[in-house]
Chain A
Amino acid sequence: MKDTEGYVTADGRKIGGVVMEMKNITLRFGGVVAIKDISFDIREGEIRAIIGPNGAGKSSMLNVISGFYVPQEGEVWFRGAPRPPVKPYEVARQGIARTFQNIALFEGMTVLDNVMTGRLTQMNQNILTQAIWKGKAEAEEVANREIAEKIIDFLEIQSIRKTPVSRLPYGLKKRVELARALAAEPKLLLLDEPMAGMNVEEKEDMSRFILDVNDEFGTTIALIEHDMGVVMDLSDRVVVMDYGKKIGDGTPDEVRTNQDVIDAYLGVAHD
């Protein structure tokens, strides 16, 4: 498959060209090799999962994509060009939004305020123009507010719009974090264990939202999860990692029957 070519998924959705490509990424922390020579790509409009047992290096990989870690070797290609080492906030401004495994919300702010912070990358006014040209700043605020409200409606959190985040239960916090990431209208959405610590019902809700987001906005999504069942239902293509290495890459069906993957998950007897 060439970079610019797409493919058609089993359920008939058209997937586009390569948005992001990891080329031979190696990441070390001192003597520990967290990621070892991994390459894979993420294509426009697809839901791409990175799975693997605990400590496989999944979160490290996501942190490389979002700029929190800088790999020692390898290149990150974004939208057809190699990306120089950048700060996390610059990555965000390039249109890559993310959520965190342990939820990083602004606890003291309301849900609406949190979602509005997601719009910061889309605001053009600066300190001076806001002070001098009040009307223009207000118009921008209103436009951004509309988008934020749309996303709040979409994720069905209207009833808690004005609630401070610190008062929300865990499952809703995860949803608010997704809303904030979506508010940036990202070209690539990174989800770090979106279903971790949720009960079955919450997991189903979250799966539905992820599919809906992809369907409605056409957002490209890369997600990390160690719950195999959820991932297989959700994603178009799956990268499997184990001990920092890539041991499988393909559609859920291909990955499911891959012997290395089965060994990694179920354990293998050593002679």
Chain B
Amino acid sequence: MPEQLVFAMEVTLNGLMAGVLYALVALGFVLIFKASGIFNFAQGVMALFAAMTLVGIMDGQVPFSHLINATFGTDIHHFGWHVPALLAIILTTGVMVGLAWCVQQFVMRHLVNQAPIILFMATIGLAYFLEGLSDLMWGSEIKNLDVGLPQGINIWIDEATFNIFGYGFFIDNLDIVATVIAALLVVSLMAFSQYTKEGRAMRAVADDHQAALSVGISLNFIWVLVWSLAGFVALVAGIMWGTKSGVQFSLSLIALKALPVLMLGGFTSIPGAIVGGLIIGVGEQLFEFAIGAPYFGGATQNWFAYVLALVFLVFRPQGLFGERIIERV
């Protein structure tokens, strides 16, 4: 097998893995957008906030310690204990559900029936508020997140590919775990929306608010539920990205990478978010490998996704799986 093709295969595989992480962020957007028509700009910051909270809880950090110390002249930073990863994840999930309730109760509930742009602006405000809150609660230094996920090169794949192609693929264990977890998450979200009472109610709200009210569904409850689910998805995304590159404030920028994914997959489709993420992931890696690096001097991953999204906007504005936009004349 020619060497170039083998390299391309490795790049494709790595692209798929990166795509899964994009898809994970996009998934959070889709959940909220489907059920409430809100484009949640804060999704990326939610991932950051979740990851910060998780690290903070695991390390036994005192929340708001800088604020407390500055106000009372104390010098406390740590409780002096360490919380096991699983328990910390459960606690953080609780925090994200609480956050969802607060967002609904104090922000979104008062903006029902407002124009989409107003809801969007509200989520921008929420993004900045959350970013400030994360800083105030947990401090701004880069933190290491280690919940016990395996990392480093997968020896088995390395050896197997070496035996076949004479060249060992470099696939990170973390990426494999991320893929499996993302797949599980998507399958369970699908099962939830198809087979549970709340899932059916969620689909009903996504379809028609008035009809949902008339069959006894509380819109408020469903919105808290979708914000909670989006919060949980943000936590999973935050764990993956945080483990990979440390928990830092640039984490909130992954939201911007989710935008082209959504334009490709459509804003209302869960499978669309997955496929869109994979296409962007593979597309940008392959483009960099085949065209970017040899002809443009590299670093094309930074913009390739957006250009691809632009092309899609011209030819298929509703995305691959989005609902067709039909304007009646």
Contacts and interface: CB of A to CB of B under 8 A. Distances in A.
Contacts of A104: 208, 210-211, 214
A107 B207 contact: yes
A125 B215 contact: no
B73 interface: no
Given A89-B219, A125-B197, A130-B196, A109 B207 contact: yes
A209 B280 CA distance: 53
B172 interface: no
A173 to B, nearest CB: 12
A105 B207 CA distance: 8
Nearest to B222: A89
A226 interface: no
B187 to A, nearest CB: 14
Interface stretch (B55-63, B163-171, B198-206): B198-206
Given A109-B207, A130-B196, A120 B218 contact: no
Residue of B198, B204, B213, B214 with highest tally of chain A CB at under 10 A: B214
B207 A106 contact: yes
A89 B207 contact: no
B207 A93 contact: no
B216 interface: yes
Nearest to B217: A89
Interface in B200-248: 200-201, 203-204, 206-208, 210-219
B208 A97 contact: no
B200 A116 contact: yes
B219 A106 contact: no
Interface residues of A, number: 34
B34 to A, nearest CB: 10
A127 B198 contact: yes
A92 B211 contact: no
A45 interface: no
A87 interface: yes
B196 A93 contact: no
Given A105-B211, A107-B208, A109-B207, A87 B218 contact: yes
Nearest to A105: B211
Given A125-B197, A130-B196, A130-B197, A106 B213 contact: no
Contacts of A184: 215-216
Contacts of B208: 104-107
Contact of A120 (B195, B206, B207, B216): B216
Interface string A210-231: 0000000000000000000000
Contacts of B217: 89, 117, 120
Interface in A74-117: 87-90, 92-93, 97-98, 100, 104-109, 113, 116-117
Given A87-B218, A89-B219, A92-B215, A120 B200 contact: yes
A254 B207 CA distance: 44
Contacts of A244: none
A66 interface: yes
Contacts of A126: 197-198
Given A89-B219, A108-B207, A109-B207, A98 B200 contact: no
A123 B214 contact: no
Interface in B259-305: none
A89 B211 contact: no
B215 A100 contact: no
A174 interface: no
Contact of B215 (A68, A118, A141): A118
Contacts of A127: 196, 198
B214 A100 contact: yes
A245 interface: no
B203 A88 contact: no
Contact of B211 (A106, A130, A137): A106
Contacts of A181: 214
Contacts of A108: 203, 206-207
Contacts of A88: 213-214
B216 A92 contact: yes
B210 A100 contact: yes
A126 B196 CA distance: 9
Nearest to A92: B216
Nearest to B200: A117
A147 B271 CA distance: 32
Contacts of B211: 100, 104-106, 117
B215 A117 contact: yes
Nearest to B215: A117
A251 interface: no
7 contacts: A89-B212, A89-B218, A97-B214, A107-B207, A117-B212, A126-B197, A130-B196
Which A-B residue pairs are the 8 nearest by beta carbons? A92-B216, A104-B211, A106-B207, A121-B216, A88-B213, A93-B216, A104-B210, A123-B197
